[in-house]
Each structure stands twice: as C-alpha cells, then as structure tokens.
Amino acid sequence: MVQESVSQQQQNQIRCAGLPLAVYREVAAHLRQVPGVETGLVPQTSRQFDYSQSQIGSLWIQYGSEVAEAERQQVAEILAYYQNRYGAWQEDNSPH
C-alpha cells in the first residue's frame, strides 16, 4: 500500500556537480521544512574515488498530492538560493 501512495506523488532527482555532503544535507533539511515536501540523499555510485566529486549522487524531492503552488514556489526559491551560491542544479535521470 505504501508503494501505491508513493507512485501517486511526484518525485524529482537533482544534483549539483561537486557539491559537498554537508551542503546537500543543509539543502535537504531546508526543503523538509516546506509542508508536504519530503527529501533525501542518494549516495554516489561511482567506483572511482575522486576528491572533486561529491559523496552524494543526487538529492530526491517528493511532493505530496496536497502540495500547493505556494509550497512548490518555496522549494524553487530554496533551490535558486543554493544554485546562486554553488552552481546549477541538473536533473538526475540515472538509476540509483
């Protein structure tokens, strides 16, 4: 039954190249303050260690069916803030 409710919700995965783990955690905590929005971190899956890569593969954002446009705008503003400081977010369509 949990699977059904998750499939009815919209989930996006985004990433920012080289963004440190601490900043990903900060973004996730900031987004979780928006009502109806859940988020989490997907670990990096690369087998090669590289100091210039983040320890995080992507950040997922899930909107409940009750999330209004005002909350979606708030999420967009939060992401824009971090984008201005750290670089562009990219959609992550790779399987994790």
Average pLDDT over residues 88-96: 76
- The pLDDT, as a whole number, for residue 51 is 65
In sequence order, what are the beta bridge partners of 11?
62
User: Could you give all domains of the chain from N- to C-terminal order, each with its CATH number?
Assistant: 2-91 (3.30.70)
Strands 90-91 and 10-15, by their bridges, are antiparallel
User: What CA–CA distances, in Å, run from 93 to 14, 24, 60, 69?
Assistant: 8, 18, 11, 24
Rounded to whole angstroms, the Cα distance separating 60 from 66 reads 18
Q: How far apart are CA 19 and CA 86, in angstroms?
A: 7
Tokens 């992550």, residue?
92
Global confidence as pTM: 0.80
Is residue 81 within 8 Å of residue 31, measured between CB atoms? no
Residues in the chain: 96
> Which of these, 63, 17, 62, 23, lies nearest to 44 by C-alpha position?
17
Tens digits of residue pLDDT in 2-14: 443 444 467 899 9
Give the tens place of pLDDT for each residue, 30-65: 999 999 999 999 988 777 766 666 788 899 999 988
